[in-house]
Structure 1
Amino acid sequence: MREKIAESMKSAMKAQDKHRLPTLRLIQAAIHDRDIANRGAGKPAASEEEILQILSKMVKQREESAKAFEDGRRPELAAQERGEMEIIREFLPAQLDDVAITA
């Protein structure tokens, strides 16, 4: 997971993608913060499961922010939050739809 995020960040830097790069930096910073917290508690670096939890939390935060921006009549900021959500979701496993669940 870390390698995939790092590769995405490198390609965003090379492409000078001004929308994608800040979000990828936020992801790496959140993972790094967890690594530091784990190190302080005598634990190893963040596992894949912990990284997935971090990403899920980031998506939820952005959903709440987008709703708050919509309620505050700031659609441009809500759209920015949704764009960040889509970038973060690229690193999460695909969610099953209703048809797949019933099957």
Structure 2
Amino acid sequence: MSALKKQISDAMKAAMRAKDKQTLGVVRLILAELKRIEVDERIELDDARVLATLDKMSKQRRDSISQFEEAGRNDLADSERQELEVIKTFLPQPLTDEEITAIIDAAVASTGASGMQDMGKLMAEIKPQLQGRADMGTVSKLVKSRLAG
């Protein structure tokens, strides 16, 4: 079992002991998604894949929050925010804009990317370093502006 998955299992046990139903529900949701992936793909998840799954789940929550707020459903948006906060506890510390820019600059130097045709190669280099630590949509915009300018 990966270290991150074990940490999530331990969090479930702690939430059960503390009778924290909100956290328990979200942690069970995370574990169910991880188990679904393992069963569907017949693999044992490693930390990188668990992190990618958590990142995807947090992105889904952020999208839901914006849609609920546009629809005036603040009660549902608040529920999604609470779920997002629990998911964030398992993600690594987010990177600052300066750190992201430094990683992009280092990747540009190592790959020799010079134009938009190199974007895929550059993103493939950057994504493993930033997974779960930065919003990849924002990173993509930064890479586009770096390659265009």
Query: What TM-score comes out, normalization by structure 2 length?
Result: 0.62
Matches within 5 A, 1:6-85: 6-39=9-42, 44-85=43-84
> Which contiguous aligned blocks of 4+ residues in structure 1 show a shift greater than 4 angstroms?
99-103
CA contact (8 A) 1:38 1:46 kept: no
Tell me how far 1:98 sits from its aligned partner.
Answer: 2.9
Cα distance change on mapping 1:50 and 1:74 into 2, 3 Å: same
Tell me how far 1:55 sits from its aligned partner.
Answer: 0.3
2:111 match:
none
1:5 match:
8
Specify every segment of 5 or more residues in structure 2 that has no aligned partner in the other structure, as ranges. Answer: 103-149
| AA matched with 1:61 | Q
CA contact (8 A) 1:9 1:24 kept: yes
CA deviations over 1:38-66 (Å, ceiling 9, x no partner): 21xxxx31111110110000001011111
Tell me how far 1:97 sits from its aligned partner.
Answer: 1.8
CA deviations over 1:2-32 (Å, ceiling 9, x no partner): 1110110001001111210110000000100
Query: What TM-score comes out, normalization by structure 1 length?
Result: 0.88
| Root-mean-square deviation over aligned CA pairs | 1.4
Tell me how far 1:99 sits from its aligned partner.
Answer: 5.0
* Alpha-carbon distance between aligned partners in 1 of 2:101 and 2:60, rounded to the nearest angstrom: 29
Structure having greater relative contact order (Cα 8 Å, sep ≥ 6): 1
Of structures 1 and 2, the larger Rg is shown by 2
Partner-residue secondary structure (3-state), 1:92: coil
* Alpha-carbon distance between aligned partners in 1 of 2:90 and 2:37, rounded to the nearest angstrom: 17
